[in-house]
A and B are shown apart, each in its own frame.
Chain A
Amino acid sequence: MHPLWKPTRRQLLAGLSALALPGVASGFGKPNLVDIAELDLGKGTLTRPNAWKRLIYEVIQTTSVTCDPREIRVKADDPELFQHPFLVLLGNGAFDMPSDEGLEQLTRYLSYGGFLVIDDTTGSESSDFDRSVRELVRLIFPTRPMGPIPADHSIYRSFFLLKRPLGRVDRFRYLEGVTVGNLCPLIYMRNDLSGALDRGDDGREKHSCVPGGQTQRREGIKLGINLVMYSLTANYKKDQAHVRELMRQNRLE
């Protein structure tokens, strides 16, 4: 069965049956499953484990990726960092730069395949968190400045076809990132994606999405899924086979 498979009635029934059956093993042990770890840089950074649990739930429901929705928080100088190739850093204020050891480890982590998503939860034009983020990125990649990510980047088509990076707010029309080769190991967003994903222990949304409401939140979830898929497949969707087929179907401009 392929991703755009149009099921017949019989196949639909078979699919429903499959859903009812217990799944087979999902990867070899939890350490090998896809998870999301929060980078803890102390004051100024936040933790929103429920946002990531929700994202992982959405990834499990929507894609073939097998995930582990556990809460993980690591320090920059913690070797545990390398067990979790998907890392997020979110905050709303200025934070202290990591130690030299932490910086060295972050550089190594991002150079050898780790992926870092930074989320400015303030959603404001100018924030202390933003200034700290830019300083941190400059320390990690002194020769590679962070820049806007173009609209045809793989991040916008790694699973969903997206036009804008929406979060809790809709203020910034593009993502920023650091490009190494043809990959972006570091993505920076300023529309508070984790705010759109976050919810309380009771399951209710914690923050309203403005101005688009639930439609905007849905786009935020799609962006989150795309970020996870991009961290796993990189520029896979830029492969010629995909581009040609999507253009043939008029789904790419």
Chain B
Amino acid sequence: MDFWLNGTLGSAGSLTWTAPQWVILVVVTGCLIAWAASLVGKRAALARAFEVCAWGAALLGMAVALSGPVWVEEEGRTVAGRLAVVVDGSRSMSVMEDGAPRHEGVDDVLEYIQRSNPDVDVYHFGDDLAIGSPDTYDLSGSDLEGALDALSERVAGEKLAGVVVVTDGLDRGLLRRRFQKEESPAGPTLPGPLTVYQIGTVGEVLDLAVRSVDSGGYAFIRSPFKISAELEGLGYENRKVTATLWMDGAPLMTEDIVIGGDGKAEVQFDVVPEEAGRFTYSVSLPVYEGDAVPANNSMPIAVKVVRDRIRVLQVAGAPSWDVKFLRRFLKGDPSVQLVSFFILRTQRDLMTSYDDRELSLIAFPYKRLFDQDLWTFDVVIFQNFDHQPYFSFDSSMLLQNLAKYVEEGGALVMVGGDRSFSLGKYGGTPLADVLPVTIPRQALGPDLNQFTPQLTDEGIRHPLTRLAGDAIENRAWWDRMSPMDGTNILSGTTPDAAVLLTHPSRTTENGEPMPILSVREVGAGRTMALTVDSSWRWSLTEAAEGRGNQAYLRFWKNAIRWLMKDTTVARVTVDTPRENYAVGDDVRVVTRVRDPGFAPMEGAKVEAVIDAAGHAMKLEGKTNADGEIVLTLPAERRGTHRITVLATADEGGEVGAATTVFAVTTRDPELDEVSPDETFLLWLAGSTGGKYYGAGQLGPPVTDPDAGRVVWERTETSLWRAPALALWIVTFAGLAWIVRRRSGLR
């Protein structure tokens, strides 16, 4: 019988039609049409009845066959429960013990379990549960309770033969936190009896670590500030180690410290920054052989160094209102440390009856100023100062010093007067080589006519002459400014100078408007030439008009900022809102690009390279209408990050580059603790009635012999292939055909 039905048909089974419904519909329709066709033709009534019935039976069999009948039977059976092994894949499992990573002990445990238990499912966990044993032990979290809950969900209420946890016990999830905080915490709910295998040995960990670094925010240039660090030395209690402070990758200083009996210590470094800007410092401890986590032996921090006070040297050939008001401004600016030297008496004033003892005058220490102390100043202002009577035979050498000072990053201002420029015999001197103007060798008398300086196109955009934020308002300020009382006469400006103010009518030999205010970048320094000696009128005379002295203050403040290369007045600037970030933070890199006139440059291409200890990332984009682009990157890696941006104009010319640094300083929580938590694991096993095996111990896991699961088996018998059905069709079709032929039909 089984042969004729193509298999055994159990009584608990059911019939299922496997052909698509449309196929069944077509087949049934086709069969009905064929059956109707069998009615056509003349023959005896008995023959007709027999033929029609035979055809009907044959076509019915065919329709059934083509509809794909299958006999389906399902039967459940219970099999023994499986053993789930959950392995900790977090970074703490990579801690070095005796020169080898801790996780090497996992293989022994797995091998032992699998040898005696054939039905083992292996999982690993960090913050989540995943199938299989871990490839690398570098997951950034370890949530054991989350992993066990995920396992319970996965087996969907089935009882497991056992649950095996292989870990160092440094769980950063809620389970261990409850264990640490609560008096009698509840253990986890598990789908089977628990066995815990501890990985790692308590007390064998040797680890020096920098836990935190603090700089107090920001520092002032040339003012000492402290960088302090919290240190930890597991296995180094009461031992002396050397902490090193690094700055931008170079060692700066060292401090010997003794790790306390509790394994902790602090170190402080007194740092005196010499330059303004952002710098990365890092505190490091030596990496001795066997150090559990070499990566936590150093920690960086970015420090913003700002100028406490700008050191300005103001040298004036004689007291004047111009000198008075400039000194008054500089003295009133808390960010400026001013050193003034005014020539109060010249050679021509010596023939008076006053004795030197009656005078409060001191010698002009010009040699010390321009030979030794020069480099300590940020800005040098020559205000109507003629060098020859004082520098004498040292003129060439001292002016050469000044030129070198500028080229190496200093700032120089020459303010006009009857002792300045050609009248001060600066033509042909080394100083003339660095100023933005060309000074005639012969002394040219000043133009004593009053005039109002004219703002040039460059002056409209330049930060130095920006008295008001709005361009139209700025021009209006300059147009209404008090007239000047005269100007020095110059030959012109150097090709790389920017002329910001000009004389309204007077021209140079080349027919160019006579420069009144010009600036220039020379080497690493900057220079400025102001050919008038009555800028003080922008203070007092403006006040007469009820406009206060804002014009004067803004002009000189802008000048000092530009001369100091204040980063906010560079054409390309890059910055991040903070100096230090935590892992996972988004870092916004803000780049601003301005054209030579300091107008926002739209469409400039900005390429930013972020270098984090050899791992480089490149971002790029184009500036918006405000000349600004914000690129965002994730802070993924602990350490110093140096950002270098290069801006190019739409037409391809390079606009400039800028650089800044930030640090990702968050310590790695996974490595906050490195010593295995034996107590926690003992509790874990005990709270669930399970078993605990210490480091290196191997033993059979606890299993539940009653645990099992139902496995459903399904048997399908394809009736459409049954020989009985084929025989049915052939028999009735053959009978119908024979009867039909005998009736004389075809």
Residues of A within 8 A of B (CB): 1-5, 7, 11, 14-16, 18-19, 23-29, 31-32, 34, 61-66, 79, 81-83, 85, 105, 108-109, 111-114, 157-161, 181-183, 222, 229, 231-237, 239, 241-242, 245-246, 249, 251
Contact = CB atoms under 8 A, between A and B. Distances in A.
A242 B361 CA distance: 8
B589 to A, nearest CB: 42
B364 A2 contact: yes
Interface of B: 317-325, 327-328, 331-332, 339-352, 354, 356-366, 389-390, 392, 416-419, 423, 443, 445-446, 448-450, 484-487, 532-534, 536, 539-541, 543-546, 548-549
A3, A81, A242, A249 pick with most chain B CB within 10 angstroms:
A3
A123 to B, nearest CB: 24
B485 A234 contact: no
B347 A4 contact: no
Contact of B321 (A34, A157, A182, A239): A34
A85 B348 CA distance: 26
A25 B418 contact: yes
Q: Closest 5 interchain pairs by CB?
A: A28-B486, A82-B544, A2-B364, A3-B361, A232-B319
A221 to B, nearest CB: 10
14 contacts: A11-B347, A24-B443, A32-B320, A32-B534, A34-B321, A64-B317, A66-B320, A111-B543, A112-B543, A113-B324, A159-B359, A160-B358, A222-B354, A233-B342
Nearest to B339: A241
B332 A19 contact: no
B344 to A, nearest CB: 6
Given A2-B364, A25-B418, A62-B345, A233 B327 contact: yes
Nearest to A4: B363
A160 to B, nearest CB: 5
Contact of A61 (B321, B344, B352, B358): B352
A26 B360 contact: no
Given A4-B356, A82-B541, A112-B548, A15 B348 contact: yes
Between B331, B449, B545, the greatest number of chain A beta carbons within 10 A of the residue's beta carbon is seen for B331
A250 B267 CA distance: 47
A233 to B, nearest CB: 5
A239 B344 contact: no
B74 to A, nearest CB: 99
B359 A3 contact: yes
A161 to B, nearest CB: 5
Nearest to A31: B485
Given A2-B390, A82-B541, A113-B324, A29 B319 contact: no
B416 A28 contact: yes
B392 A1 contact: yes
Contact of A2 (B320, B366, B544): B366
A108 B543 contact: yes
B533 A28 contact: yes
A29 B450 contact: yes
A170 B331 CA distance: 35
A234 B362 contact: no
Contact of B360 (A1, A34, A246): A246
A160 B354 contact: yes
Given A25-B445, A158-B360, A246-B362, A18 B320 contact: no
B337 to A, nearest CB: 10
Nearest to A15: B347
A132 B712 CA distance: 116
Contact of B361 (A4, A109, A113): A4
Nearest to A244: B362
A242 B365 CA distance: 11
Contacts of B361: 3-4, 159
A27 B320 contact: yes
A64 B487 contact: no
A245 B348 CA distance: 24
A31 B319 CA distance: 15
Nearest to A86: B321
B354 A82 contact: no
Contacts of B357: 161, 251
Contacts of A85: 321, 324, 540
Contact of A18 (B341, B348, B419, B423): B348
A232 B324 contact: yes
Contacts of A29: 448-450, 485-486
B193 to A, nearest CB: 83
B560 to A, nearest CB: 19
A65 B322 CA distance: 12
Given A113-B325, A234-B331, 13 more contacts: A5-B363, A34-B320, A63-B318, A64-B344, A65-B319, A85-B324, A111-B543, A112-B543, A113-B540, A159-B361, A233-B324, A236-B340, A246-B360
A7 B351 CA distance: 12
A24 B449 CA distance: 17
A111 B359 CA distance: 30
A164 to B, nearest CB: 14
Contact of A3 (B328, B352, B363, B445): B363
Contact of B448 (A28, A64, A111, A160): A28
B292 to A, nearest CB: 56
Contacts of A161: 357-360
Contact of A82 (B327, B328, B364, B540): B540
Contact of A242 (B362, B443, B449): B362
Contacts of A63: 318-319, 344-345, 349
Nearest to B536: A113
B539 A112 contact: yes
Contact of B342 (A160, A222, A236): A236
A86 B357 CA distance: 28
Given A113-B540, A241-B362, A64 B390 contact: no
A187 to B, nearest CB: 15
Contacts of A109: 540, 543-544
B446 to A, nearest CB: 5
B713 to A, nearest CB: 99
Contacts of A112: 539-540, 543, 548-549
B540 A27 contact: no
Highest count of chain B CB atoms <10 Å: which of A25, A160, A229, A246:
A25
Given A28-B417, A28-B533, A2 B363 contact: yes
A238 to B, nearest CB: 10
Given A18-B347, A160-B354, A81 B544 contact: yes
Given A113-B325, A234-B328, A242-B360, A27 B344 contact: no
Nearest to B542: A112
A253 B546 CA distance: 44
Contacts of A237: 360
Which of A18, A159, A229, A245 gathers the greatest number of chain B CB atoms within 10 Å?
A159
A236 B347 contact: no
A233 B417 CA distance: 17
Contacts of A241: 339, 341, 362, 365
A234 to B, nearest CB: 7
Contacts of B359: 3-4, 159-161
A166 to B, nearest CB: 14
B382 to A, nearest CB: 15
B362 A32 contact: no
Contacts of A19: 348, 351
